[in-house]
Amino acid sequence: MRIALEKRDSKSRKMAVIIPLASFVISLILGALVLAASRSNPLQAYQAMFNGAFGNARRFQYTIVEALPLLMCGLGVGIAFRLKFWNIGAEGQYVWGAIGITWVMQFWKFVPIPMLLPIGLLVGMILGALWAGVPGFLKAQWSVDETLTTLMLNYVAIGLAEYLYINAWKAPFGNMGTPEFPRETWLPPVWGKVHSGIYIALALVVILYFLLYKTRWGFELNMIGKNPRAARYQGVSIKKNIVIAMLLSGAICGLAGSVNTAAIAHRLTRGVDGGYGFTGIIIAWMSGLNPFASILVAFVMAALTTGADALQIAMRLPESMGEVLQGLVLIPLLAGSIFVEHRLVIIKKEAV
């Protein structure tokens, strides 16, 4: 007798609800064991994390702000994941968005100030799209492995950004960082620290849901991801769709970088590679590539980040403890997601 995984005929809606809840409970138990081993009270630690993320209006606003770039990066990589193109380069595409809007703000002096923000956002999208289009074209034309190319291009973009804000574009008589954007070009706030980028992110959710679930193009992406051979027999151009999907994926990640830079840092500086692109991969996977589900997952991930920061102050725990607890939340959720499409079956050995 042995236990094996068997693929379900269709995704189980019941398990799609039960599995995340059960996985989250397991992660809390694992986290409590780690905290107890560190001689900390688990209940006090979890309370500190909750207060750090939602304790007052200001902390709640910070959690929303942290969720916006995560949501946009998750939406971007989710497009590529639909056709089983593993875009691991969202971080680099995000950085190019920040570089693009900084270039416009710093050097496009011939443009009226009110036009700098929309042009900067557009340029950030274009640069993010082009950066993602390179591995997309290589995959479509010569079947070059996209996992390697997208991953390696991240570090090229990050290295270029460091060169720009440390040397080439550095503000005169300033620390590492470019000159601050004109105040008129900052994304305006809508509620405390929450900026108007929230409208852009939510609009993307609606637009992408329509594109992916209500159009022929979305159907083609889904077909390619599930059965490329059948898609080819139906006359679907796999090469064209790979390039288009990667251009759109990179454009959204680039938009995330330009929006966050215009709203938060107002310059290109250290910390531009904040890991939003890498976390976006997790968000896309955990949400099942559903744009609306990505909102909830991005918010939870942001709460884990802002809540973990409070552990250092309230519990005097090292910074790494926050990352450990985040990992203990993610691992059961990712491992448990396999049971949404699969189930355990017991196979009995036949008598000889």
Rounded-to-integer distance, Cα 77 and Cα 153, Å: 15
Q: What's the pLDDT score for residue 349?
A: 66
CB 124 within 8 A of CB 100: yes
HEC secondary structure over 164-229: HHHHHCCCCCCCCCCCCCCHHHCCCEEECCEECHHHHHHHHHHHHHHHHHHCHHHHHHHHHHHCHH
Question: 136 exposed, middle or buried (CB, 10 Å; 0-12, 13-18, 19+)?
Answer: buried
* Nearest-angstrom CA–CA distance, 190 and 177: 27
Measuring CA to CA, which residue among 209, 205, 198, 235 is closest to residue 220?
235
pLDDT of res. 174: 67
Burial bucket for residue 25 (CB in 10 Å: 0-12, 13-18, 19+): exposed
Instruction: Quote the pLDDT of residue 312.
Output: 77
> Taking a C-beta distance cutoff of 8 angstroms, is the pair 348, 35 a contact?
no
- Give the pLDDT confidence score for residue 4 in this predicted structure: 80
Token pair recorded at residue 167: 């040397």
Q: What is the pLDDT of residues 161-196, one digit of tens each?
A: 999 999 999 998 767 899 999 999 999 999 999 999
- pLDDT tens digits, the chain, 352 residues: what are they? 777 878 777 776 777 778 888 888 898 899 999 999 988 899 999 999 999 999 999 999 999 999 999 999 999 999 999 999 999 999 999 999 999 999 999 999 999 999 999 999 999 999 999 999 999 999 999 999 999 999 999 999 999 999 999 999 999 876 789 999 999 999 999 999 999 999 999 999 999 999 999 999 999 999 999 899 999 999 999 999 999 999 999 999 999 999 999 999 999 999 899 999 999 998 998 888 999 999 999 999 999 889 888 887 788 888 788 788 888 888 887 787 787 777 888 877 664 4
What is residue 121's predicted lDDT score, i.e. its pLDDT?
98
Q: 4: which strand partners?
A: 345
Q: How open is the CA angle 228-343-335, to the nearest 5 degrees?
A: 80
Q: State the amino acid at position 156 in one-letter form.
A: V
Residue given tokens 């999907």 in the structure block: 245
Can you tell me the distance from the alpha carbon of 230 to that of 235, in angstroms, rounded to the nearest whole number? 9
Q: Which residues pair with 208 in a beta bridge?
A: none
Query: In Å, what is the CA distance from 293 to each residue of 11, 202, 289?
Result: 15, 12, 8
How many CA atoms does the CB half-sphere of 119 hold within 13 Å? 15
Question: E-strand spans in the chain?
Answer: 2-7, 189-191, 194-195, 342-347
pLDDT of residue 127: 98
In this predicted structure, what is the pLDDT of residue 348? 75
Maximal C-alpha separation, the chain = 85
